[in-house]
Each structure stands twice: as structure tokens, then as C-alpha cells.
Amino acid sequence: MANAKTISLIKKVADKTDAKDQSPMENLANELDQDFIPFGAGDPVECTVISTSSHRILCDVGGLTCGFVPEKEFSFDTKELKPGDRVIAAVMSMEGKDGLVVLSLRRADREKLWDTLKEKMENHSTLSVKVASANRGGLMVDAGGLAGFLPVSQLSVEHYPRVDGGDPSQILYKLRKLMGETMTVKIIAVDRNEEKLIFSEKEAVSESLGGVDTLFEIGELVDGVISGIAPFGLFVSLKSIEGLVHISEVSWDHISDLNKLFKVGQKIKAKVVKIENGKVSLSIKRLSDDPWLEHMKNLKVGETLEGEVGKVTAYGAFVKLPDGLEGLVHTSTASGDIEKIKNLKVAEKHQFEVIELKPEARRIGLRLVK
């Protein structure tokens, strides 16, 4: 920290220098009536914000001089600052190239940042982070000097790296293109002891829209665009968020390869069937009545009909019936003919008796007729 001896030395140097060559700090040393400058490099100082821009913040430093915070020393909540706000900054240098004190909000905040971030998570607040690097799992981001992680699964629809075939190298390429960008996120996990800090851009977007629960209602019909295709279902972009049509909700018929029926960018209609934990589950098949229910109305318990063996398992045989229906001959109904059921061959045709009908479960119980 500067003391009276330092002030005296600055004045002596200043006396030998033309006024036009003097820096603000030298002029300050000549004008100060105090015996010492009450701060030095590394010290925290209270500042008042004079002006802000995207690359620096100009401050009044304790009423003694002016300083500035360069962009790289911004804090996680810098965007919230406005002229007149009081902040605590760390002195990085008593004099920069332009004669101003160089300050850091990031370094001053580091000690209290973990508590602040925990509070933001508990209050469900959003904040801005900057993407520092990328790996196949997501993005490493900077939050006021603390490193955090933004998983791929927590990216918004706008930034999610949809790649046909899921090529890892292409996913990484798309993620790296986000480096340097500033994102608005919410905190979903913070642990100071383990230095764990996890963010979600997806939740921040949902929050800005008023929450998923307010956007849709169960049973609502929606228009969307397929944003991705996975083995387990279709990702659908709607209202700046993303829903999922699980493969079991795509069609009443069995589907083994979604890529044969759909493509990214295709417009579809779907029905909202569930909203849970910020996730929207959709259904395409429920836009129409279940054909099974209509065809099952034509069946009666006790009638006999021909069927084709489709699959044989340890507990019975699945049988293909007319109108696309399927029934099960369970070994528990074999009455001593268990081996006969196990010995059935795929594609064989036999006579079967209907012994059970449960439309709500899409279940048809059969018995092999001798």
C-alpha cells in the first residue's frame, strides 16, 4: 500500500516533469492533502459506477481517482450494473496505459461468488455465462471467474447440436462454434466443496417464456418441426422449447426405424400427453383412434379363428390375427400341453380360441385348439 514516503517520491518526480507529461496518478499525488493513498495493488476498494459498455466499466474509485474494469475482469452479474451503483473491486494495477486504475470485479467477487450462485439457484434466478471451451458432453463456461459446465442435454433448441446419425465429431464441431458466446442460463447444481457448478440454458429459456406448464395443456394439439431423430424417439421444436415423441407414441403399429418415416425439418402435428419436470411428452398416434379397439369389437370370447405364429417365448407364443391384431397363447393356459406350445414354429397356422379380451390393455388371450 502507498504511504507518505511514496507520496513524497511521486511529488519529487512530478516537480521535475512538465505538467503536460504528468499522468492522472502523478497529478493526484501533487494534489492530495492526505498523508497516504488508502489503497494499493491487490486491495479491495469501493467504487461507484460512472458508465458501462460491452468492453469496460468506468468507475469513481473512493472519490480519489478514476478506474476501469476491462471486459476480461467482468463479473457474472456485470450486465445488471448501472451508473450510480456501488461495487467492491480488486485493484489490479495502480495505473494502466491511460493512467486509470485497473480494477477487477471478477477477483473481488470470487470469495463470495459461491454463496451468491447458491442463492441464485435457490431463487431460480438467471445469469449470463461465457462459453470457454467445448467437449462432446457439453460446454465449459465462465461464470464470473468460476468454471462451470453446461451439458448438451441442457442446451436450448437454438444451440442443441442436431446431427444426422449422431456423428460425435460433427457434434463437437457444432459445440466448438459456440465458443466465445454469452448465454443466459439457470443454475441446476452448485457445490463449493467439490467445485461443482452445472447450468441449464434450456430451463432459462423455459423461464423466460413463463414456464412449460403455462405454455401447454394436456391434450392440446400442437404444430412442431422435427429437430432430431434418435433410436428412442423424435425431438420436436415448438415455441422455442423442445418436446419428445417417444417411439412408442409415434404409431399404433410397430416401428423399428424412425429414419425411414421421418426427417429433420419435417413439420408434424402432435398431442401433448404429459408435462413433467419441465419436459413435454408428445404423441402422434393419439391423433387417431386406436384401430385395435375397433377391430377387437368384432371378437367374442369363446370364438375360434385362424392365426399365424409370430414369435415363441419361454412363457408362450404370440399369434398374428386378422385385421392386424395380435394375441398371446400363455403357457399357463396350456392345460398340460405346455410342450406343444413351446414346439410351435414361426409362420405356422393353427386354430385358436379367444379366452380373454382386455381392450384397455390391448390384450387378447388365446388357447391353442387341439
pLDDT average, residue stretch 280-293: 93
Whether residues 22 and 100 share a domain: the answer is: yes
C-beta separation of 276 from 240 below 8 A: no
Query: Which pLDDT score, from 0 to 100, does residue 335 have?
Result: 63
What does the pLDDT read at residue 309? Answer: 95
Is the pLDDT score of 13 beyond 70? no
**Window from 3-7, 17-21, 160-164, 312-316 with minimum mean pLDDT:** 3-7
Considering only CA atoms, which of 359, 356, 368, 353 is closest in space to residue 296? Answer: 359
pLDDT at site 92: 92
Does any domain span residue 117? no
Give percent above pLDDT 90 in the chain: 51
Q: Are 168 and 136 in contact (CB under 8 A)?
A: yes
Q: Domain ends where: 61, 83, 109?
A: 109
Confidence of residue 240 (pLDDT cuts 50, 70, 90): confident
Tell me what percent of the chain is helix, strand and coil, each rounded to the nearest 5: 30, 40, 35
What cell does 196 get?
A: 461443482
Closest CA to 117 of 138, 87, 141: 141
* 118 within domain boundaries: no
257 occurs within a structural domain: yes
Q: Strands, DSSP E only, in the chain?
A: 44-52, 56-61, 65-70, 86-93, 101-104, 126-135, 138-143, 146-151, 182-191, 196-200, 221-230, 233-238, 241-246, 267-276, 279-283, 304-313, 316-320, 326-330, 349-358, 363-368
Are both 275 and 306 inside the same structural domain? no
Q: What is the CATH number of the domain that holds 196?
A: 2.40.50.140
State the cell numbers at 242. 423442445
CB atoms within 10 A of CB 314: 6
Residues 128 and 99 in one domain: no
Are 96 and 174 part of one and the same domain? no
| Angle at the Cα of 282 from the Cα atoms of 280 and 284, rounded to 5 degrees | 170
Q: Are strands 65-70 and 101-104 parallel, antiparallel or unpaired?
A: parallel
pLDDT over threshold 50, residue 16 = no
Do 23 and 96 share a domain, yes or no?
Answer: yes
The region of weakest confidence among 106-115, 212-221, 340-349 is 106-115
User: Strand 196-200 to strand 233-238: parallel, antiparallel, or no bridges (unpaired)?
Assistant: unpaired
Please report whether residue 119 resides in a domain: no
What burial letters (b/e) apply to 162-189, b meaning 16+ CB within 10 Å?
A: bbeeeeeeebbeebeebeeeebbbbbee
- Tell me the percentage of the chain whose pLDDT exceeds 70: 88
pLDDT in tens, 63-97: 888 999 999 898 877 888 899 999 989 999 988 77
Same domain flag for 168 and 105:
no
Q: Please give the residue range of the domain that contains residue 168.
A: 124-207
Query: Would you state the pLDDT for residue 47?
Result: 94
Same domain assignment for residues 297 and 283: no
DSSP state of 277: T
3-state secondary structure (DSSP) of residue 356: strand
Chain centroid to Cα 88, Å, comes to 32
The arithmetic mean of pLDDT across residues 251-258, rounded, is: 88
Q: In whole numbers, what is the pLDDT of the chain averaged over residues?
A: 85
Choice between 116 and 13, residue whose per-residue pLDDT is larger: 116
pLDDT band at 116 (very low <50, low <70, confident <90, very high): confident
10 and 77 inside one domain: yes
Residue 115 lies in a domain: no
* 60: in domain: yes
Are residues 160 and 239 located together in one domain of the fold?
no
pLDDT reported for residue 34: 43
Q: Does 87 reside within a domain?
A: yes
Q: Which of 95-99, 157-161, 334-338 has the lowest mean pLDDT?
A: 334-338
**Pairing assessment for the beta strands 316-320 and 267-276 based on DSSP bridges:** unpaired
Of 147, 177, 207, which one is at a domain's C-terminal end? 207
- How many folded domains does the chain comprise? 4
For position 42, what pLDDT does the model report? 84
Instruction: Give me the DSSP letters along 19-53.
Output: GGG--HHHHHHHH--SSS-S--TT-EEEEEEEEE-
pLDDT at 207 over 80: no
Closest CA to 95 of 175, 13, 16, 153: 13
Q: Do 358 and 276 reside in the same domain of the chain?
A: no
Cβ–Cβ under 8 Å, residues 354 and 365: yes
- What does the pLDDT read at residue 337? 72
Question: Of 229, 252, 287, which residue constitutes the final position of a domain?
Answer: 287
pLDDT level of residue 32 (50, 70, 90 thresholds)? very low
Beta carbons within 10 angstroms of residue 11's beta carbon? 14
* Tally of helices (H runs) and strands (E runs) in the chain: 8, 20
Task: Using pLDDT thresholds of 50, 70 and 90, give the confidence band for residue 167.
Answer: confident
The answer to whether residues 84 and 57 belong to one domain is yes
In a domain, 98, yes or no: yes
Judged against a pLDDT cut of 90, whether residue 272 lies above it is answered with: yes
Q: Does residue 134 sit in the same domain as residue 163?
A: yes
